[in-house]
Structure 1
Amino acid sequence: MILFSLSHINARSIISGLDIFRDYFSTNSYDVIGVTETWLTPGVVDEAVALDGYALVRLDRDDGRRGGGVALYIKNKFAYTRLTVTKVYAGFEYLLVRITVNGIGVTVGVVYRPPSSDTTLFIESFENLLSDIIVDTDEIVILGDFNINLFTCSSTTLSYIQRFLQL
């Protein structure tokens, strides 16, 4: 049985709310914390956004646009490996790691889909990503901000979502 705790937050600039972020996660302990919209750039060193007791793995948006970026904070008690996916998946930002929890390999991912990206393209690309990584892991957990309003999306989008939830 896998027992570990996860949390996700859309930071909309982790630096601007860093004190609140650190206070919250110092009193609310999770094994893995996924962060979307970090708004970090390659010029920001890991130590500037470190969280005591956690390793930081991050993927910054590096195309000059403001916003975006994803990160995972992983409790130091877990060994992890950052997964490198050789294919390019359009329409979203993602980061994947493999953690061993109680002898079971768990792939943990954090995903951010900007609201301006095409929903259908995202769903198709995300489904392809999941299909590619599912063969190499025991369990998969995805955290993130998909920016999909299920109350207003088309029936085609809903059917795509239902399909990838069944993977």
Structure 2
Amino acid sequence: MDKLNFSHFNVRSLCSNFVAFRDFVVDGQFDIFGLSETWLSEKIASSSLTIPDYNIIRSDRIGRGGGTAFYIKKCYKFQNLELPASESGLEQLWISIKINGKNICFGTLYRPPNVNLLGCLTDLENSISTFLPSYDMLVFGSDFNVDLLTNNNSKIVLMNFFEKYGLHQTVKVPTRITNSNSSLIDIIVTSCSDMITDTETLLMDDISDHCLVTCKVNVQRKTAGVRFSTFRDYKNFNLVEFDHDMYNMDFDKIFVLHEVDDIVNHFTKLVTYLFDKHAPYKKVRFTKPPAPWITTNIKFMMRLRNKALTKFKKHKTEAAWQDYKQLRNLVTSI
């Protein structure tokens, strides 16, 4: 498989039009289908919401309304990613799938309109700061109840947040259309815009007043080109032996030569012989792509971050969590 279909849909009560929704999913052969506003509760069994050849996972709101869920084709092995309890009211559900050597993190999110946006973005920051360093790609569908067709403060805050983490919003047309107005509130966001194609919105009037947003994720396996690098190998370099051989080299000949080119050539020949003997050239084959952005300082900060996480797991204190969170966010930003 070269492309994987990912969709998000604010279903506004999964039970109300489940038969129509089930038939739509089966006919469309969707791979991963994220839902928001499922309006499910613990009284509704998942067995009553099954779709042939799909697994369902869900996260119901405690109380009326809300809720998120995923339908994932059974041919994909996935992992349900656990998150700390939300303090803001942001509803989010995340899974990971490894396909064709790519480790991809998918999310489905919903922000109730009466919940503070900044608080939700803080919770989202905690999630993506954890996921971005650990996965090759992050994709999530959401309804933040922020209209991206208007230039209000909420839109500016949300788009600045995406820019901060190098995230790209791919939906460009209205996703909720009424007799009086149209708005773009259902979105697909990714960390790798070059791997997202065919973003579409589909009217779903018989199920919900929200449009379905869908895209294709390029999961084609890419074989890294083989690279060769040649360098001097100092692994077995012995400074004492090097000094001894250098002391016994015939440097005196330099003083009997008259032409500058001859002097330089003789000196170069002697030094090259020394290094060829004590630090010979080595040719190494590389298959992994280079990662020049992972500098020595970043590696050092990663070690500090990992130590802070180990400390938090051991002591489980709020101070340890804040130390780890600060280092984690700093490493991700850098």
Same fold by TM-score greater than 0.5? yes
Please state how far the C-alpha of 1:7 moved relative to its aligned partner: 1.2
Whether the aligned pair in 2 keeps the contact of 1:59 and 1:70 (CA below 8 Å) is yes
The 3-state SS of whatever aligns with 1:48 is helix
Match of 1:23 in 2: 23
Match of 1:80 in 2: 78
Matches within 5 A, 1:67-146: 67-86=65-84, 88-146=86-144
* AA aligned opposite 1:116: N
1:70-90, Cα deviation, whole Å (9 max, x unpaired) = 000000110011111235352
Over aligned residue pairs, what C-alpha RMSD do you find?
1.9
Aligned pair in 2 of structure 1 residues 159, 145: CA closer, same or farther (>3 Å)? closer
Counterpart Cα distance in 2 of 1:87 and 1:40? 19
User: Which segment is superposed worse, 46-55 or 144-153?
Assistant: 144-153
Counterpart Cα distance in 2 of 1:88 and 1:19? 32
Match of 2:7 in 1: 7
The 3-state SS of whatever aligns with 2:133 is helix
Counterpart Cα distance in 2 of 1:157 and 1:78? 35
Which structure: larger Rg?
A: 2
Whether the aligned pair in 1 keeps the contact of 2:91 and 2:109 (CA below 8 Å) is yes
The 3-state SS of whatever aligns with 1:136 is coil
Aligned pair in 2 of structure 1 residues 34, 160: CA closer, same or farther (>3 Å)? closer
Counterpart Cα distance in 2 of 1:117 and 1:2? 39
Counterpart Cα distance in 1 of 2:2 and 2:126? 26
Counterpart Cα distance in 2 of 1:89 and 1:79? 30
Whether the aligned pair in 1 keeps the contact of 2:87 and 2:123 (CA below 8 Å) is yes
The 3-state SS of whatever aligns with 2:4 is coil
Whether the aligned pair in 1 keeps the contact of 2:8 and 2:35 (CA below 8 Å) is yes
Please state how far the C-alpha of 1:152 moved relative to its aligned partner: 4.9
Counterpart Cα distance in 1 of 2:50 and 2:72? 11
Higher relative contact order (CA 8 A, sep 6+): 1
Q: TM-score, normalised by structure 1?
A: 0.89
Aligned pair in 2 of structure 1 residues 48, 15: CA closer, same or farther (>3 Å)? same
Aligned residues: 164
Counterpart Cα distance in 2 of 1:77 and 1:71? 18
Please state how far the C-alpha of 1:159 moved relative to its aligned partner: 4.1
Aligned pair in 2 of structure 1 residues 161, 45: CA closer, same or farther (>3 Å)? same
Whether the aligned pair in 2 keeps the contact of 1:127 and 1:164 (CA below 8 Å) is no
Please state how far the C-alpha of 1:23 moved relative to its aligned partner: 1.5
Match of 1:53 in 2: 53
* AA aligned opposite 1:153: N
Counterpart Cα distance in 2 of 1:131 and 1:36? 22
Aligned pair in 2 of structure 1 residues 87, 14: CA closer, same or farther (>3 Å)? closer
Counterpart Cα distance in 2 of 1:30 and 1:137? 22
Please state how far the C-alpha of 1:36 moved relative to its aligned partner: 0.5
Please state how far the C-alpha of 1:160 moved relative to its aligned partner: 4.3
The 3-state SS of whatever aligns with 2:138 is strand
Match of 2:32 in 1: 32
* AA aligned opposite 1:110: T
Structure 2 gaps of 5+ residues are: 168-334
Counterpart Cα distance in 1 of 2:128 and 2:105? 10
Counterpart Cα distance in 1 of 2:158 and 2:44? 37
Structure 1 gaps of 5+ residues are: none
Aligned pair in 2 of structure 1 residues 157, 38: CA closer, same or farther (>3 Å)? same
Please state how far the C-alpha of 1:116 moved relative to its aligned partner: 0.9
Whether the aligned pair in 1 keeps the contact of 2:147 and 2:155 (CA below 8 Å) is no
Counterpart Cα distance in 2 of 1:85 and 1:78? 22
Please state how far the C-alpha of 1:29 moved relative to its aligned partner: 1.2
